[in-house]
């Protein structure tokens, strides 16, 4: 599902103008992104959490040059769904 499809789906369910929905969806995504860039997690009860995972430094290989490289420690964004959300997806239930 794309952002445009999300906007259309919300429009059909609520009747709110598409431009208002699009702005709201984009601001939500921007807020989540900005919060995570600051190093904070975002918790949405009943939906899930946008969390920052820390990756430790490790040794990798450059296969084409047959050399080892050091991959520095870094953070990556991740999504951890809520237990109720996971159960609904596993069971194939839609509200």
CB neighbours of 27 closer than 8 A, spacing ≥ 6? Answer: none
CB 7 within 8 A of CB 22: yes
What's the pLDDT tens digit per position in 34-81?
999 999 999 999 999 999 999 999 999 988 998 999 999 999 999 999
Find the domain containing 81 and state its range: 41-95
Q: Which of 56, 54, 28 is nearest to 39 (CA)?
A: 54
Q: How many Cβ atoms are within 10 Å of 21's Cβ, its own excluded?
A: 17
Residues 6+ apart with CB under 8 A from 54: 73, 74, 75
Same domain membership, residue 46 and residue 22? no
Q: So what's the pLDDT on residue 92? A: 84
Q: Kindly state whether residues 69 and 86 are assigned to the same domain.
A: yes
- Can you tell me the distance from the alpha carbon of 45 to that of 35, in angstroms, rounded to the nearest whole number? 17
Residue 94 confidence (pLDDT) above 70: no
| 76 in the same domain as 55 | yes
Assign residue 55 the CATH number of its domain.
Answer: 4.10.520.10
Residue 12 has pLDDT above 90, yes or no: yes
Residues 67 and 86 in one domain: yes
């Amino acid at each position: 599902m794309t952002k445009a499809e999300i906007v259309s789906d919300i429009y059909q369910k609520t009747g709110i103008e598409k431009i208002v929905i699009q702005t709201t969806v984009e601001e939500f995504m921007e807020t989540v992104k900005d919060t995570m860039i600051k190093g904070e997690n975002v918790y949405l009860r009943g939906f899930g959490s946008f969390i920052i995972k820390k990756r430790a430094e490790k040794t990798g290989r450059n296969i084409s040059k047959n050399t080892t490289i050091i991959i520095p420690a870094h953070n990556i964004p991740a999504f951890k769904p809520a237990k109720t959300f996971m159960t609904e997806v596993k069971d194939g239930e839609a509200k």
